[in-house]
């Protein structure tokens, strides 16, 4: 072979290699298969490597489930510790690379349906597949339904309240057993806590990464307001109630200087500060303490929870949300049933998976938090779960008793919530970072943008 | 379409070509003879086609469509109209232009001055080159987190605020300030990226014949006259090329607002066009609107690049 021929062969081999490499890099749209009795499904939201205990538990559960169901193979996929970082989730959805059974927030229903990626599972979601199905909260099921069609299975729910650091309360001369009940009391307590100095914020709030809008909504609900009109077509926060929310924050930030200098916080930022003992109070769900402890080096003993504060009295509402799993369009009946069986085992069976308190207790995963509360109060599943929880509690149940025993009416998040939250971030960030920002102007700007987004979504 | 004067003909192919010109061969034969070249080329063409050209075409198509319930329909200019009505649209362009201008002043001039200083040095030039290039080796996200948490901390514990306080100067809110957000992004971006530009300028400076400087010195030219009459004219080509690359790169400002301001910043003070595309596409579930904005940006940058090419070819 001449040198030229060698070159030619080498070039063709290189091209062939490139082609093979590209082919190897490409992913099939559907990584699942079912042949005969064997069925394989891909499932996401496997804990990430840094969540060692949770990952170990997940893998053990997959193994145990597959032993119980030898015809089912679960292929687990990790999509980050948060499971649903909105940009990543949108990319997976738009690219059609979601797993067969994929995690989403309750607020994602509209987006998931618009993408055309989810299948209806009404006929499959029954007591036969999920033994506790009839005990699961109707509101949680409704969050994954459109009309009478069910598209997802709820696996967790939450409602918001006021989380506070007991240590800082004591240091500031406040009574941890008597936390603030109103926004006026929150403001007074925040002043005392921030007076401790050392970079401690008496009260802290989000203003970036969609979390600012999320918290604005929660605080608006506490005032008795709503972010969109009942028909979901117009923004409904540019009013006295919306102004009160932003004015409270502005007063705390600039008049009282009780919210700290660092703003533009998103989810991990605030919880990092909370874990470091730099936050006196913030609005959140009980599982925020789980994140503080398992991801941000905080301690359960430091935290307690009260109901959502109201304006001049008890809160008129609190934001409720949660998470669950959708099923990718085009799955076979066997795959859907396998997915439901897995969710029933891992997420919805008392004493198993997420409700395996005996296992969670020594691992320092929280047992005894008042939520998730997926089961209808009074149902058998509710009672069994509660008994198991109380018997294995590793958090002081009393610290959450005020929250659990003083329920506030729950309002669920609106349709297109993430798009609305993204817009409301700007109002929150303006008020928390610019002393000259006008509450009226910021609400008007956000209102215009939300109306535009809702009009576009309705087309 | 090939013109008649260059179209190969059997007559031309069968006769010896005039000196200096190779005879044209039949297309099939040309392909056979150049198969090695085409084979090597195909990889690059495939990569560009798959990862550059196809997404561009797809983006243009998407900008005229809307997807609902998995069904895609044509909507004409709707997405463009919506994007133009977005209150953040003009702010994003204004911020991007401001960043670009500031980056040209700071990020373009500073590396050139640094390169001139390095070029004048007789000792430690190698060490200084490494020192200036080090930030380029840091992953951009890490470099920006350093700025975010240590330099731009708005409390007095922040590095820059501590320095300002030490100097009895007023401190700043940095990324939380509507007036300082863009300059702060330019500063961080310049620190991160100037190493590469310094090395390129330095290479260009070292190609200038020493005899030109000697002649200028003999004519009594001082440092600034030598720079003005020798250095700048001799590096004009690389300077203008770097200017164009700088403008195109800075117009695509994205990671700085994303990390330093956690997004749009205070009252959109850090929003850039590229960030607005990201916000529409991935936070507001408006991928078609994002595609429309992407096309607008493509047109603007394409227009700028075309103008540059036209102007520079006229100058040549």
Three-state secondary-structure class, residue A103: strand
* Residue A63 exposed, middle or buried by CB count within 10 Å (0-12, 13-18, 19+): exposed
Is residue A439 within 8 A of residue A247, CB to CB? The reply is yes
CA distance B178 to chain A (A): 8
CB contact under 8 A, A449 and B289: no
**What's the rounded Cα separation, in Å, for the pair A398 and A305?**
9
CB < 8 Å to B266, chain A:
264, 429-430, 433-434, 437
Question: How much is the average pLDDT of A122-145?
Answer: 94
* Residue A1 exposed, middle or buried by CB count within 10 Å (0-12, 13-18, 19+): exposed
Q: What is the pLDDT of residue B40?
A: 86
CB contact under 8 A, A419 and B261: no
CA distance B160 to chain A (A): 15
Sorted by where each begins, the domain ranges of chain B are 25-81, 89-315
Nearest CB neighbour to B35, from listed A8, A90, A210: A8
Is residue A204 within 8 A of residue A281, CB to CB? The reply is yes
Nearest to B68 by CA among B287, B292, B312: B287
Fold of A161-317+410-458: D-Maltodextrin-Binding Protein; domain 2 (3.40.190)
Q: Which two tokens stand for residue A220?
A: 């608006």
Q: Which of residues 167-206 of A touch B (CB under 8 A)?
A: 199
Is residue A104 within 8 A of residue B275, CB to CB? The reply is no
What does the angle CA A58 – CA A59 – CA A62 come to, to the nearest 5 degrees? 85
Is residue A428 within 8 A of residue A215, CB to CB? The reply is yes
Q: Into which CATH architecture does domain B89-315 fall?
A: Orthogonal Bundle (1.10)
Preferred mutation among A20, A98, A264 to probe B, highest tally of B CBs within 10 A:
A264
pLDDT exceeds cutoff 80 at A57: yes
> Which phi and psi (to 5°) does residue A375 adopt?
-85, 145
Q: pTM of the entire structure?
A: 0.83
**What's the rounded Cα separation, in Å, for the pair A314 and A182?**
7
Give the ipTM.
0.82
pLDDT in tens, chain B (316 residues): 333 333 333 434 444 444 555 666 677 777 777 888 888 899 899 999 999 999 999 999 999 999 888 889 999 999 999 999 888 899 999 999 999 999 988 888 889 899 988 888 878 888 888 888 999 999 999 999 999 999 999 888 899 999 999 999 999 999 999 999 999 999 999 999 889 999 999 999 988 998 998 999 899 888 889 888 998 899 888 888 888 888 888 999 999 999 999 888 888 899 999 999 999 998 888 899 999 999 999 999 999 889 888 887 766 5
List, as one string, the DSSP characters of B230-257: IIHHHTHHHHHHHHHHHHHHHHT--HHH
> What is the chain A residue with the closest CA to B181?
A433
User: Same CATH fold, A161-317+410-458 and A33-159+321-397?
Assistant: yes
Q: Which helix (H) or strand (E) holds A416?
A: none
CB contact under 8 A, B40 and A459: no
Query: In degrees to the nearest 10, what's the CA dihedral of A345, A346, A349, A350?
Result: 140
Preferred mutation among A2, A5, A10, A11 to probe B, highest tally of B CBs within 10 A:
A11
What does the angle CA B268 – CA B269 – CA B273 come to, to the nearest 5 degrees? 70
Question: The domain A33-159+321-397: what is its CATH number?
Answer: 3.40.190.10
What lies within 8 Å, CB to CB, of A86 at 6+ separation is A209, A210, A418, B282, B283
Pairing of strands A101-105, A279-284: unpaired
Sorted by where each begins, the domain ranges of chain A are 33-159+321-397, 161-317+410-458
> What is the chain B residue with the closest CA to A111?
B285
């Amino acid at each position: 072979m001449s040198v030229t021929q060698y070159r030619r062969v080498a070039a063709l081999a290189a091209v062939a290699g490139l082609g093979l490499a590209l082919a190897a890099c490409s992913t099939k749209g559907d990584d699942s298969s079912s042949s005969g009795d064997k069925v394989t499904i891909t499932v996401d939201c496997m804990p990430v490597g840094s969540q060692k205990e949770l990952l170990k538990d997940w893998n053990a559960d997959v193994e145990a489930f597959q032993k119980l169901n030898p015809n089912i193979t679960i292929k687990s996929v990790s999509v980050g510790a948060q499971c649903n970082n909105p940009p990543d989730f949108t990319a997976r959805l738009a690219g059609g690379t979601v797993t067969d059974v994929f995690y989403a927030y309750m607020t994602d229903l509209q987006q998931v349906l618009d993408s055309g990626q989810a299948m209806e599972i009404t006929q499959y979601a029954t007591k036969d597949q999920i033994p506790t199905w009839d005990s699961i909260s109707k509101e949680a099921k409704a969050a994954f339904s459109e009309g009478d069609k069910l598209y997802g299975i709820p696996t967790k729910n939450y409602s918001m309240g006021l989380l506070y650091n007991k240590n800082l309360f004591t240091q500031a001369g406040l009574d941890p057993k008597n936390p603030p009940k109103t926004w006026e009391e929150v403001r007074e307590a925040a002043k005392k806590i921030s007076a401790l100095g050392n970079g401690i914020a008496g009260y802290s709030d989000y203003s970036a990464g969609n979390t600012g809008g999320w918290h604005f909504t929660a605080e608006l609900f506490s005032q008795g307001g709503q972010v969109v009109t009942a028909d979901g077509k117009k923004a409904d926060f540019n009013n006295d109630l919306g102004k009160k929310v932003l004015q409270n924050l502005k007063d705390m930030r600039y008049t009282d200087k009780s919210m700290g200098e660092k703003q533009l916080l998103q989810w991990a930022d605030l919880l990092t500060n909370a874990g470091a003992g730099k936050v006196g109070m913030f609005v959140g769900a009980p599982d925020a303490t789980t994140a503080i402890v398992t991801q941000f080096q905080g301690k359960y003993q430091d935290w307690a929870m009260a109901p959502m504060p109201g304006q001049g009295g008890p809160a008129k509402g609190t934001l409720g949300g949660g998470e669950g799993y959708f099923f990718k369009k085009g799955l076979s009946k066997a795959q859907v049933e396998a997915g439901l069986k897995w969710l029933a085992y891992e997420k919805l069976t008392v004493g198993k998976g997420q409700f395996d308190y005996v296992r969670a207790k020594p691992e320092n995963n929280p047992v005894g938090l008042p939520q998730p509360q997926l089961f209808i109060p009074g149902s058998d599943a509710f009672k069994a779960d509660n008994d198991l929880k109380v018997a294995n509690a590793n958090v002081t149940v009393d610290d959450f008793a005020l929250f659990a025993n003083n329920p506030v009416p729950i309002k669920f998040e609106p349709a297109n919530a993430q798009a609305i939250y993204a817009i409301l971030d700007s109002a929150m960030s303006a008020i928390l970072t610019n002393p000259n920002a006008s509450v009226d102007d910021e609400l008007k700007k956000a209102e215009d943008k939300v109306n535009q987004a809702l009009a576009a979504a309705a087309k | 379409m090939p013109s008649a004067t260059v179209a190969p003909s059997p007559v031309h192919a069968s006769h010896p070509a005039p000196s200096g010109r190779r005879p044209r061969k039949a297309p099939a034969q040309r392909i056979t003879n150049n198969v090695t070249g085409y084979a090597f080329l195909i990889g690059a063409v495939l990569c560009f086609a798959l990862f550059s050209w196809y997404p561009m075409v797809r983006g243009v198509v998407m900008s005229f469509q809307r997807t609902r319930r998995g069904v895609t329909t044509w909507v004409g200019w709707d997405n463009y109209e919506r994007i133009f009505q977005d209150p953040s649209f003009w702010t994003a362009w204004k911020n991007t232009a401001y960043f670009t201008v500031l980056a040209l002043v700071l990020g373009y001039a500073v590396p050139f001055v640094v390169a001139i200083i390095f070029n004048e040095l007789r000792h430690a030039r190698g060490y200084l080159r490494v020192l200036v290039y080090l930030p380029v080796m840091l992953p951009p996200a890490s470099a920006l987190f350093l700025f975010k948490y240590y330099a731009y901390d708005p409390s007095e514990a922040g590095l820059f605020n501590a320095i300002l306080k030490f100097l009895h100067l007023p401190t700043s809110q940095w990324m939380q300030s509507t007036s300082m957000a863009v300059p702060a992004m330019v500063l961080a971006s310049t620190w991160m990226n100037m190493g590469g530009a310094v090395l390129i300028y330095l290479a260009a400076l070292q190609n200038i014949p020493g005899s030109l400087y000697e002649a200028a010195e003999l004519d009594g030219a001082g440092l600034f006259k030598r720079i003005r009459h020798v250095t700048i004219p001799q590096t004009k080509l690389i300077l203008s090329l770097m200017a164009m690359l700088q403008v195109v790169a800075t117009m695509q400002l994205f990671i700085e607002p994303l990390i330093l301001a956690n997004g749009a910043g205070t009252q959109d003070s850090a929003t850039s066009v590229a960030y607005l595309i990201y916000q529409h596409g991935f936070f507001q579930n408006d991928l078609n609107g994002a595609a429309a904005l992407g096309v607008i940006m493509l047109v603007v940058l394409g227009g700028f690049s075309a103008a540059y090419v036209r102007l520079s070819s006229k100058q040549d």
